[in-house]
Amino acid sequence: MRSLAREAVLRVIYAEEFGNKNEVPAKRSIYKNLKLEEDDVRFAERLVFLIEKHAAEIEATIAKYSVAYSAERLFPTDKCILKIGIAEILFCEDVPDIVAAKEETDLAAKYSTQTSPSFVNGVLAALIQDKNAGGK
């Protein structure tokens, strides 16, 4: 299930934020603990790859759309969730934008603060709106 794959990606990139850069055993452990099927592992690996490949663009997008907060002041979980959503919206043509926004909002509700779901949803909705208008 892709929801679990996204949860795995959140755990992987959250760990990377704090110094565990691209450690294969750690990733495998996360995938195993969440009981990901092979298709979900491939999806998770693709998201991690896209987040790393487009890191500068994703960071710039976070800065652009989180107007009330500087990227440095964002709650780390929210920042990681936004990275996943932005990667899906900008680089995963097989994932509808609205699905990505909903999934990431659900992650924020599960793993972050009480106000995080609305913040994440607002940032991703603004990105989707600009993308559909040809602005991104």
pLDDT of residue 16: 84
Domain locations in the chain as residue ranges: 2-132
Alpha-carbon distance of 104 to 120, in angstroms, equals 7
Low-confidence ranges of the chain (pLDDT < 70): 20-23, 70-72, 135-136
Per-residue model confidence (pLDDT) at position 136: 57
Supply the pLDDT for residue 22: 59
The 8 Å CB, 24+ separation contacts for 33-41 are 34/4, 34/7, 34/8, 35/4, 36/4, 36/5, 36/8, 37/1, 40/1, 40/2, 40/4, 40/5, 40/8, 41/5
Domain 2-132 has CATH 1.10.940.10: yes
Report pLDDT for 71.
64
Gap between the Cα atoms of 9 and 4, Å rounded = 9
Q: What is the pLDDT of residue 32?
A: 93
Residue 25 has a pLDDT of 78
Instruction: State the pLDDT at residue 20.
Output: 62
